[in-house]
Structure 1
Amino acid sequence: MYVHAGEDIMIRSNEIIAILEKETVEYSVEIQKFLQHKEDLIINLANGDFKSLIITEPHIYFSPIASSTLQKRLLDMQDHGLMI
Structure 2
Amino acid sequence: MYIHLGGEKLIRSSQLIAIFDISIEQSSKLSKQFVQHAQSNREVETIGEEDPKSIVITEKKVYYSPISTTTLKKRAHYIDN
TM over 0.5: yes
Give the AA of the match of 1:34. F
Tell me which stretches of 4 or more aligned residues in structure 1 moved more than 2 Å: none
Larger radius of gyration: 1
Structure-2 separation of matches of 1:8 and 1:26:
27
Instruction: Specify the alignment match of 1:12 in structure 2.
Output: 12
Q: Deviations over 1:9-66 (max 9, x none)?
A: 1000000111001122332111111111110100000413101000001111000000
Q: In 2, Cα distance between the equivalents of 1:38 and 1:75?
A: 26
TM-score (structure 2 length as normaliser): 0.90
Write out aligned runs for 1:36-75 (5 A): 36-39=36-39, 40-75=42-77
Partners in 2 of 1:58 and 1:33 — Cα distance? 17
TM-score (norm 1): 0.87
Aligned-CA RMSD value: 1.1
Listed as ranges, the gaps of 5+ residues in structure 2 are none
Unpaired segments ≥5 residues, structure 1: 80-84
Distance change (3 Å), C-alpha of 1:46 and 1:16:
same
